């Protein structure tokens, strides 16, 4: 049974989420401030954290930072802060998903299950291969498999796709992608990233309903795994 830590100072929301989680056979732990959240996380070692941002004593961003220093456990931020800046910051700090209040509890359950599936899949695959339903990225032979059709991609396209897909739903700036894929000594324009993204989007169009390299305007790009995958 997966154990989930709910962190929210609104006890009614905690009770609502707890009710739906227990109905789905999850074990639930609750914390109502950031400091208690860290303490319970270390004591209980949950499989996932549902985390509000506006918390007493230590805000959700700091809680996320502290957890990610010691664990790769998935985190879904559930908060009233719905500005793009807040979403991008949360995802940059390591959150795996971000939901804005008011929310649909059934959608939250669906997202929880999707994130847990991805974590389970990634833990069972080799370091050089990423496997999603109907999509496989294999760095051993630089092949991309979509549905049952396999194709070979240029080296930089494969490295870029592999890196983004290894960090689903996380946003990266062009500069970060340049440094990671082309290296610190790259001489050229950051628009090189845009060209490669355009080519990758063309190759992913058959599975666009489930997987997409999305532009986060003013920031960069992310590999988005759609709800329900």
- Answer whether 0.95 is exceeded by the pTM: no
What's the whole-number mean pLDDT along residues 113-142? Answer: 77
φ/ψ (deg, to 5) at 182: -100, -20
Q: What is the secondary structure of 171-210 as a DSSP string?
A: -EEHHHHIIIII-TT--S-THHHHHHHHHHHHHTGGGTTT
Per the model's pLDDT, the better-predicted residue between 64 and 87 turns out to be: 64
The CATH code of the domain at 129-225 is 1.10.10.10
Per the model's pLDDT, the better-predicted residue between 112 and 188 turns out to be: 112
pLDDT the model gives residue 126: 47
Angle of the 34-44 helix axis to the 60-70 helix axis, nearest 10: 20
Q: How far apart are CA 22 and CA 150, in angstroms?
A: 42
Radius of gyration of the chain (CA): 19
For residue range 18-55, list pLDDT tens digits in order. Answer: 999 999 899 999 999 999 999 999 888 899 999 999 99
228 three-class SS: coil
CB 97 within 8 A of CB 67: no
Residues in the chain: 229
CATH 3.50.50.60 for domain 3-123 = no
**What is the enclosing helix (H) or strand (E) of 224?**
strand 220-225
Q: How far apart are CA 61 and CA 159, in angstroms?
A: 30
CB 41 within 8 A of CB 68: no
**What are the structural domain ranges in the chain?**
3-123, 129-225
pLDDT the model gives residue 184: 61
Domains 3-123 and 129-225 share a fold: no
Helices (H), the chain: 11-23, 34-44, 60-70, 84-92, 105-123, 155-166, 174-177, 191-203
| Contacting residues for 130 by C-beta, under 8 A, at least 6 apart | 122, 136, 137, 162, 165, 166
pLDDT the model gives residue 223: 94
Mean pLDDT across the chain: 87
């Amino acid at each position: 049974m997966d154990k989930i830590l709910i962190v929210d100072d609104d006890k009614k929301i905690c009770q609502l989420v707890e009710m739906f989680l227990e109905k789905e056979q999850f074990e639930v732990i609750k914390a109502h401030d950031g400091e208690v959240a860290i303490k319970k996380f270390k004591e209980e070692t949950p499989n996932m954290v549902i985390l509000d941002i506006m918390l007493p004593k230590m805000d959700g961003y700091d809680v996320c930072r502290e957890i990610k220093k010691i664990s790769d456990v998935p985190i879904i931020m559930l908060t009233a802060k719905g500005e793009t800046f807040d979403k991008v910051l949360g995802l940059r700090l390591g959150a795996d998903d971000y939901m804005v209040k008011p929310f649909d509890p059934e959608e939250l359950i669906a997202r929880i299950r999707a994130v847990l599936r991805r974590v389970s899949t990634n833990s069972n695959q080799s370091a050089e291969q990423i496997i999603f339903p109907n999509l496989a990225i294999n760095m051993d032979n630089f092949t991309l498999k979509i549905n049952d059709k396999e194709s070979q991609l240029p080296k930089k396209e494969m490295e870029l796709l592999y890196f983004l897909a290894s960090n689903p739903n996380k946003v990266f700036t062009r500069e970060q992608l340049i440094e990671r894929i082309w290296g610190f000594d790259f001489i050229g324009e950051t628009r090189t990233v845009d060209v490669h993204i355009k080519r990758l989007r063309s190759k992913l169009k058959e599975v666009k309903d489930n997987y997409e390299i999305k532009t986060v305007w003013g920031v960069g790009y992310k590999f988005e795994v759609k709800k329900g995958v």
